[in-house]
A = this chain, B = another copy of it.
Amino acid sequence: MAATLREVAERAGVSARTVSNVVNDFPQVAPATRARVQQALDELGYQPNAVARNLRNGRSGLIALVLPELDVPYFAELTRAVIEQAAAAGYTVVVDQTDGDPVRERELVMRGNRAAMFDGLIFNPLALGSADLRNRSSSTPVVLLGERVVQGGLDHIMIDNVGAAELATRHLIDLDRQRIAAIGDQSDESRQTGRLRTEGYQSALRSAGHEMRPDLIRPTEFFHRADGAAAMSDLLALPDPPDAVFCYNDLLALGALRTILSHGLRVPDDIALVGFDDIEDGRYSTPSLTTIRPDKTQIAKHAVQLLLNRLDGDKSAPAELSADYDLVIRESTTL
């Protein structure tokens, strides 16, 4: 069905090469010829065959974005930004979900036959750790997103999790809260996010001279609403429950919020709440959610730019870039 260069050439009475020159806007084509070829192109509705092009010039024009879950708002918003950035550079993004499954992550990132299709990868690991990533056999360039799993050796866009968690916790301290809990700690070695945020949380408490109560640090398996709701139930069941909670992401906070409200308590009057990620849901909850806002556009921009540099043969040392963040104060911490 689709017309080829050769067919257009025949119709216009020129060579395929000349048609190619017209299609690609090469200067060395006589105006008259160009017009004639253009007409043939239009008549046949010619569309360049992307696959053949890609084979010819050795690139597929495709980059893969590999992340845990697409329907988690933070990732959905990040994905939007990555797609936009990549499109601006003429690249197309394929999104792959791993559900945090190490087998799927390995398959997609390490050597999966899928990999041969992509010029590069942007990878937000959940289960895969340093050991895995270090001996990747595939030569496709990767940029990592998220906390630092690998010490050097790979391009990486991250946020200062410790600093951000400190900022969030200090905000609660400044509100004169005495029993500040944390939801989202993770002991699992491969999941650094939780560990780093706990580090920041503790550091803030310590420098404010607060008591450190291990029972106020609640681990969760995932970062979903359900985990936040369950952890909050546990906290409320304590003999001496918290008057403030720092949740390691907004979904946890929204789950916790639901539990608090259904216990007849008020936010922030009884319990103040801070989240992380600044997803849209938190801007419209009641009360709206105070949160750490990472600059998602900047993350996407850096990631795509870094990857494109590698594709252009940039051989410089692996980069580690930190994205900006700030604290957005909303109703959940404002009396």
A76 to chain B, nearest CB (A): 4
A294 to B283, CA, bound (A): 26
- Contact bitstring A76-105, B, C-beta under 8 A = 1, else 0: 110110011000000011111100000000
Of the 9-residue stretches A5-13, A113-121, A185-193, A198-206, which lies at the interface with chain B? A113-121
A122 to chain B, nearest CB (A): 14
- Contact bitstring A105-146, B, C-beta under 8 A = 1, else 0: 000000101111100000000000000000001110000000
- Contact in complex: B111, A83 (CB < 8 Å): no
B residues near A139, Cβ cutoff 8 Å? 1-2
Residue of A83, A92, A255 with most chain B CB atoms under a 10 A cut-off: A92
B residues near A93, Cβ cutoff 8 Å? 94-95
Is residue A238 within 8 Å, beta carbon to beta carbon, of the partner chain? Answer: no
A299 to chain B, nearest CB (A): 14
- Contact in complex: B70, A280 (CB < 8 Å): no
Of the 9-residue stretches A51-59, A166-174, A212-220, A306-314, which lies at the interface with chain B? A51-59
Select from chain B the residue with minimum beta-carbon distance to A96.
Answer: B83
Beyond A92-B94, A258-B284, A281-B281, whether A115 also contacts B47 by CB under 8 A is yes
B residues near A261, Cβ cutoff 8 Å? 286
- Contact in complex: A111, B47 (CB < 8 Å): yes
Beyond A2-B116, A284-B229, whether A83 also contacts B95 by CB under 8 A is yes
- Contact bitstring A31-59, B, C-beta under 8 A = 1, else 0: 00000000000000101111110110000
Is residue A285 within 8 Å, beta carbon to beta carbon, of the partner chain? Answer: yes
B residues near A113, Cβ cutoff 8 Å? 47-48, 50
A111 to chain B, nearest CB (A): 7
Is residue A60 within 8 Å, beta carbon to beta carbon, of the partner chain? Answer: yes
The listed residue (B54, B76, B257) touching A286 by CB distance below 8 A is B257
Select from chain B the residue with minimum beta-carbon distance to A78.
Answer: B71
- Contact in complex: A71, B73 (CB < 8 Å): yes
The listed residue (B54, B94, B280) touching A94 by CB distance below 8 A is B94
B residues near A295, Cβ cutoff 8 Å? none
Is residue A69 within 8 Å, beta carbon to beta carbon, of the partner chain? Answer: yes
The listed residue (B51, B73, B280) touching A117 by CB distance below 8 A is B51
B residues near A48, Cβ cutoff 8 Å? 113, 116
Is residue A262 within 8 Å, beta carbon to beta carbon, of the partner chain? Answer: yes
Beyond A48-B116, A117-B50, A262-B286, whether A76 also contacts B83 by CB under 8 A is no
A70 to B280, CA, bound (A): 13
Is residue A254 within 8 Å, beta carbon to beta carbon, of the partner chain? Answer: yes
The listed residue (B55, B62, B262) touching A55 by CB distance below 8 A is B55
A286 to B289, CA, bound (A): 14
Q: Could you list 20 examples of A-B contacts with CB < 8 Å?
A: A2-B116, A45-B137, A47-B116, A47-B138, A49-B55, A50-B116, A51-B54, A51-B55, A51-B117, A52-B55, A70-B83, A73-B73, A73-B76, A83-B97, A93-B94, A229-B284, A254-B284, A261-B286, A262-B286, A281-B281
Contacts from A to B (Cβ < 8 Å) = 1-2, 45, 47-52, 54-55, 60-62, 69-71, 73, 76-77, 79-80, 83-84, 92-97, 111, 113-117, 137-139, 225, 229, 254-255, 257-258, 261-262, 280-281, 283-286, 288
